[in-house]
């Protein structure tokens, strides 16, 4: 923008200088022509008087630094300021370049003038000396017809020459006594335009410096931090050096700082996921070894014993271990797919009141060995909606109800209470069991954790509550456990209420 604006501005001002200079020459020539027409013309011969012209022309032209020539009506030269002005007594002209270096410099100067607009390559025609015949100049011919004529030419040094020709007339008469031709010869316009082009180059260099400084600034404040983040991300991807840490920029409050914090949080989440997978694999191995060890021991004892009763008891143990292994494999498979499925599923509006009523209806129609009764207290406001997947949220509540059933006494009851707590939909599942040891209120949500009465030992994988917490967290909620004062436990789920 700086370069383009500078070119347009200088180009406009350069042309304006030429037009302004030409206007000034016209005004000066009009004053000189009027004086010469009144005091240096002969009405009888209708020609100018050379002696009077030589007397009047020097004081009129000397302050203007212009060259003035006066021509008779037939186009012959009557006077030339170069012949009697002191500053023109000695003419200095540059010789044409002779050696190769001088020719190259002259050629480069012309190329520079053409590129920078000082003198376009297809510029004005060449200026030439007309000698004593003024009719070779088109502007003089125009003035001999009674009108002012102007012209733009370039001399041998490629300098601009502006010419103005005015007829010498005594007003109000139209008789033409001669022509005054005024022209520049110092190349002052070219020097001014060259100075402005030099200013343009300075502006260009300044713009380049600003661009370089801006690039260095951007490289230091944006490029370098991004490069560090990319290198750290590559180290994390390749896994060299253990658990790599991404750099953070606490002093940055812009997008780079946000990006660094987001990448650090994402990396921490990935490492936590990797640790969870490793821990899960270790827990799976441990949980599978127990029934396998028990099964191996039972089979070994069956080979040694001959007692039919012992044989039957060992067979029962082996069948129980096989069922336990099958249940563990099924639950482990469901838990291992849960992360991927939750990541792919898009949340949808879910009516909790309808979901709970449907689930309780199924439980009430299904017989359970303990004869447990179910009670639903739905205190939700009308159309309480949360964001999630109904089958996943249904799995959460099924796991909680199944857990409550397993701890309930014979003929006990399970109460499900639904209320709105601030901006959350809260569902509480209560049982009449022995409660949860205070130290284990959070441990029950860990994978493979189970603490059951003796008759229920080995019938649960310990993954139900862990899956419930995982699904609840993906829906933006939370789950926790408490003990009731009158005995029994209650599991509480909070889910954010959707406003859509």
pLDDT in tens, 128-149: 887 889 999 999 999 999 999 9
Q: How many angstroms separate the CA atoms of 292 and 325, rounded?
A: 8
Q: How many angstroms separate the CA atoms of 289 and 410, rounded?
A: 33
Q: Which residue has the tokens 């500053």?
A: 87
479: closest CA among 439, 451, 436, 444?
444
- The predicted pLDDT at position 463 comes to 76
Q: 263 pLDDT band (50/70/90 cuts)?
A: confident
pLDDT at 328 over 70: yes
Of residues 318 and 429, more confidently modeled: 429
pLDDT digits (tens, 9 = 90+) for 401-439: 988 888 888 888 999 999 988 888 999 999 988 888 888
Which of 159, 174, 198 delimits the end of a domain? 198
Pairing state between β 413-421 and 373-378: parallel
Of residues 475 and 280, more confidently modeled: 475
DSSP per-residue codes, 86-98: GGGSS---PPPP-
In a domain, 463, yes or no: yes
352 token code pair: 């909790």
- The predicted pLDDT at position 182 comes to 94
pLDDT at 47 over 90: yes
Nearest-5° Cα angle at 127, 126 to 129: 140
- The predicted pLDDT at position 334 comes to 72
The helix/strand/coil state of 80 is strand
Domain that holds residue 41: 2-198
Beta bridge partners of 386: 350, 497
pLDDT at 458 over 50: no
pLDDT at 45 over 60: yes
491: CATH: 3.30.565.10
Q: How many angstroms separate the CA atoms of 193 and 198, rounded?
A: 9
- The predicted pLDDT at position 88 comes to 54
Indicate whether this model's pTM tops 0.75.
no
Percent of the chain exceeding pLDDT 90 equals 21
- The predicted pLDDT at position 123 comes to 65
Q: How many angstroms separate the CA atoms of 367 and 358, rounded?
A: 16
In a domain, 284, yes or no: no
Could you tell me if 474 and 412 are in contact, meaning their C-beta atoms sit under 8 angstroms apart? no
Which of 168, 198, 228 delimits the end of a domain? 198
List alpha helices for 366-442, DSSP H: 390-407
- In the predicted model, what is the mean pLDDT of residues 153-173? 85
Which of 137, 169, 198 delimits the end of a domain? 198
In a domain, 354, yes or no: yes
In a domain, 263, yes or no: no
- CA distance readout (Å), 226 to 211, 270, 315: 20, 20, 65
Beta bridge partners of 483: 489
In a domain, 132, yes or no: yes
**245 Cα distance to chain centroid:** 26
In a domain, 495, yes or no: yes
- The predicted pLDDT at position 177 comes to 94
- Is the four-CA dihedral 9, 15, 19, 24 of positive or negative sign? positive
In a domain, 262, yes or no: no
- In the predicted model, what is the mean pLDDT of residues 23-52? 92
End-to-end CA distance of the chain: 48
Could you tell me if 245 and 266 are in contact, meaning their C-beta atoms sit under 8 angstroms apart? no
In a domain, 313, yes or no: no
Could you tell me if 256 and 247 are in contact, meaning their C-beta atoms sit under 8 angstroms apart? no
Could you tell me if 489 and 436 are in contact, meaning their C-beta atoms sit under 8 angstroms apart? yes
110 Cβ contact partners less than 8 Å away, ≥ 6 residues apart = 119, 158
- The predicted pLDDT at position 30 comes to 93
13: CATH: 3.30.450.20
Least confident of 76-80, 198-202, 384-388: 198-202
pLDDT at 186 over 70: no
- The predicted pLDDT at position 173 comes to 80
Q: How many angstroms separate the CA atoms of 338 and 336, rounded?
A: 6
pLDDT at 369 over 70: yes
Q: How many angstroms separate the CA atoms of 271 and 289, rounded?
A: 27
Could you tell me if 359 and 394 are in contact, meaning their C-beta atoms sit under 8 angstroms apart? yes
Residue 35, preceding peptide bond in cis (omega within 30° of 0): no
Domain total in the chain:
2
Q: How many angstroms separate the CA atoms of 285 and 447, rounded?
A: 13
């Amino acid at each position: 923008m700086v370069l383009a604006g500078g070119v347009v501005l200088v180009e406009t001002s350069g042309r304006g200088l030429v037009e302004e200079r030409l206007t000034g020459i016209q005004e000066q020539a009009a004053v000189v022509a009027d004086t010469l027409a009144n005091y240096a013309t002969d009405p009888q011969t209708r020609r100018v008087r050379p002696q009077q012209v030589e007397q009047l022309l020097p004081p009129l032209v000397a302050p203007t630094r212009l060259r003035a020539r006066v021509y008779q009506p037939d186009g012959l030269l009557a006077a030339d300021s170069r012949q009697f002005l002191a500053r023109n007594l000695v003419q200095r002209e540059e010789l044409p370049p002779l050696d190769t270096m001088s020719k190259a410099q002259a050629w480069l100067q012309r190329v520079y003038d053409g590129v920078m607009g000082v003198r376009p390559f297809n510029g004005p025609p060449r200026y030439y000396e007309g000698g004593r015949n003024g009719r070779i100049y088109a502007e003089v011919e125009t003035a001999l017809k009674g009108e002012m004529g102007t012209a733009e030419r370039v001399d041998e040094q490629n300098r601009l020459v502006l010419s103005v020709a005015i007829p010498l007339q005594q007003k109000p008469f139209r008789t033409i006594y001669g022509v005054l031709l005024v022209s520049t010869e110092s190349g002052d316009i070219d020097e001014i335009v060259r100075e402005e082009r030099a200013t343009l180059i300075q502006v260009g260099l300044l713009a380049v410096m600003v661009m370089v400084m801006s690039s260095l600034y951007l490289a230091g404040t944006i490029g370098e931090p991004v490069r560090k983040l990319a290198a750290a991300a590559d180290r994390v991807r390749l896994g060299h050096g253990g658990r790599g840490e991404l750099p953070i920029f606490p002093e940055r409050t812009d997008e780079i700082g946000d990006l660094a914090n987001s990448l650090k949080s994402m990396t921490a989440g990935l490492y936590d996921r990797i640790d969870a997978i490793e821990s899960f694999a270790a827990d799976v191995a441990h949980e599978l070894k127990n029934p396998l060890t028990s099964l191996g021991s039972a089979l070994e004892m069956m080979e040694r014993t001959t007692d039919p009763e012992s044989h039957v008891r060992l067979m029962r143990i082996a069948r129980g271990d096989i069922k336990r292994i099958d249940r563990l494999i099924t639950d482990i498979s469901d838990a291992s797919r849960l992360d991927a499925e939750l990541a792919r599923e898009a949340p949808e509006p879910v009516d909790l009141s309808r979901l709970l009523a449907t689930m309780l209806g199924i439980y009430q129609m299904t017989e359970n060995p303990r004869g447990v009764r179910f009670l639903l207290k739905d205190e939700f406001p009308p159309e309480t909606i949360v964001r999630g997947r109904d089958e996943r949220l249904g799995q959460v509540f099924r796991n909680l109800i199944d857990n409550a059933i397993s701890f309930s006494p014979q003929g006990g009851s399970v109460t499900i209470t639904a209320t709105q707590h601030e901006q959350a939909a809260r569902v509480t599942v209560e049982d009449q069991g022995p409660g949860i040891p205070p130290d284990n209120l959070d441990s029950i949500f860990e994978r493979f954790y189970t603490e059951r009465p003796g008759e229920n030992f080995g019938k649960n994988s310990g993954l139900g509550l862990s899956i419930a917490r995982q699904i609840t967290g993906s829906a933006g909620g939370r789950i926790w456990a408490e003990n009731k004062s009158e005995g029994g436990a209650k599991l509480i789920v909070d889910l954010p209420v959707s406003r859509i």
